Amino acid sequence: MRLKVNPDNCSGCRLCLQICAMEQFNEVNPRKARLRLEAAFPEPGKYCPRVCTECGSCREICPVDAIEENQKGVLSVREDSCIECGACVEICPEGVMMRWEDGIPFKCDFCGQCAEVCNTSALTRQS
């Protein structure tokens, strides 16, 4: 499963951020989401959710090969190998390799909750 973004449909409600942090961390804190929202205001007045595309840049840059496919076939950070250098965070073209207070980076695991909660189809599941 991957995520498809339809930016023209996004109304900037941040429900996707809210549910992501709840799902992944059991916390109400949209800043801990594994996706992010860009807002270009006052002009042109558009929103755009940015999500992981599994492009592999993070895996390529990782100096210790700590990023690899997990059992679900999704790239993820192996916490026991990560040296917290932050190179993957820097290289991510979507800006969605996340990090919280200089800890181990984390990324989307394609749980699909963001698409589940999106009422405008700005985010949808893609098989």
Partner 1 sequence: MLYGFGGSVLRVNVGTGDIDIRALDPAFARRWLGGRGFISKILYDEVPRSTSAFDPDNLLVISPGVLAGHFAPGGSKCCFGAISPITNGLGDSTVGGHFGPELKFAGYDLVILRGISPGPSYLVIDDDKIEIRDAARYWGRGSMETEKMLKDDLGCDFEIATIGPAGENLVTSACITHDYGRQAGRCGIGAVMGSKKIKAIAVRGTRSLAVYDLQKTKEVNLAIIKRTSRHPNMDPWQKYGTAMFVGWSNNNGVYPTRNFQTTYLENHEKLDGAELVEKLLVSHKACFGCWMNCGKYSKVALPDRPTVYVEGPEYETNALCGGNCGFERIDEVAYINWLCDHLGIDSMSGGGLVAFAMECFEKGLITREQLEGRQLRWGNLDDFEHFLKMIAERRGIGEWFAQGLAPAAKKISGGSEKFAVQVKGMGMSGYDGRYAPAMLLGYMTSDIGAHHNRAWTITLDDDIGRQVISGKAKLVVYLQHIRPFFDSVSSCRLFWGEVDVTPEEYIAAIIMATGWNEFTLAEAMTASERVWNLNRAHFLERNCHLGKSGRAFDYPNSRFYEEAVPSGPGKGARLTLPQLDLMLDEYYAARGWGVNGNPSREVLLELGLEDAAGNLEEAGLLGRLSTELPPSTRGERYKPKAF
Q: Give the nearest distance from C-beta 99 to partner 1 in angstroms.
A: 13
- Using DSSP, state whether 63 is helix, strand or coil: coil
The two structure tokens encoding residue 12: 């900037």
Residue 84, amino acid = E
CB of 25 to partner 1, least distance (A): 8
Q: Which is nearer to partner 1, 13 or 104 (CB)?
A: 13
Let me know: does 36 contact 96? Beta carbons within 8 Å. yes
Least distance from partner 1 to the Cβ atom of residue 63, Å:
29
Query: Do 4 and 118 contact (CB within 8 A), yes or no?
Result: no
Binding site for partner 1 (CB under 8 A): 8-15, 18-19, 21-23, 25-32, 39, 41-47, 116-117, 119-120
Tokens 């800043």 correspond to 31
- 30 vs 85, beta carbon nearer partner 1: 30
**Looking at beta carbons only, is 61 or 112 nearer to partner 1?**
112
State the DSSP string of 67-116: EEE-TTS-EEE-TTT-----HHHHH-TTS--B-STT---B------HHHH
Instruction: Identify which of residues 2 and 32 has a Cβ nearer to partner 1 in the complex.
Output: 32
CB of 61 to partner 1, least distance (A): 25
